[in-house]
Amino acid sequence: MRSAIIAASLLLAVLVVPLSAGAAGDGPALQEANIDLKDKASLQRGAKYFANYCMGCHSLQYMRYNRMAADLDIPEDELTQNLIFGDAKPGDVMTNAMRPQDGESWFGKVVPDLTLVTRWRSPDWVYTYLKSYYVDDSRPFGVNNLVFDKVGMPHVLSNLQGVQAPVYAEGHAAEGAVPHIVGVELVEPGELTVEEYDSMVRDLTNFLTYVGEPYKLERRSLGLYVLLFLGLMFILTYYLKKEFWKDIH
Q: What is the pLDDT of residues 71-110, one digit of tens each?
A: 999 999 999 998 998 888 999 999 988 888 888 888 888 8
User: Residues 31-41: what's their mean pLDDT?
Assistant: 95
Q: For residue 16, what pLDDT is reported?
A: 40
Q: For residue 215, what pLDDT is reported?
A: 83
Q: What is the pLDDT of residues 107-164, one digit of tens each?
A: 888 899 999 999 999 999 999 999 999 999 999 999 999 999 999 999 999 999 999 9
Q: For residue 177, what pLDDT is reported?
A: 60
pTM reported for the whole predicted model: 0.78
Q: For residue 220, what pLDDT is reported?
A: 64
CA distances from 139 to 150, 151, 154, 236 (A): 7, 8, 10, 66
User: Residues 195-211: what's their mean pLDDT?
Assistant: 97
Strands (E), 26-177: 60-64, 93-94, 133-135, 143-145, 162-168
CA distances from 185 to 153, 160, 191, 213 (A): 20, 15, 16, 34
pLDDT at 3 over 60: no
Q: What is the pLDDT of residues 43-60, one digit of tens each?
A: 999 999 999 999 999 999
Question: Percentage of the chain with pLDDT > 70?
Answer: 83
Average pLDDT score over the chain: 84
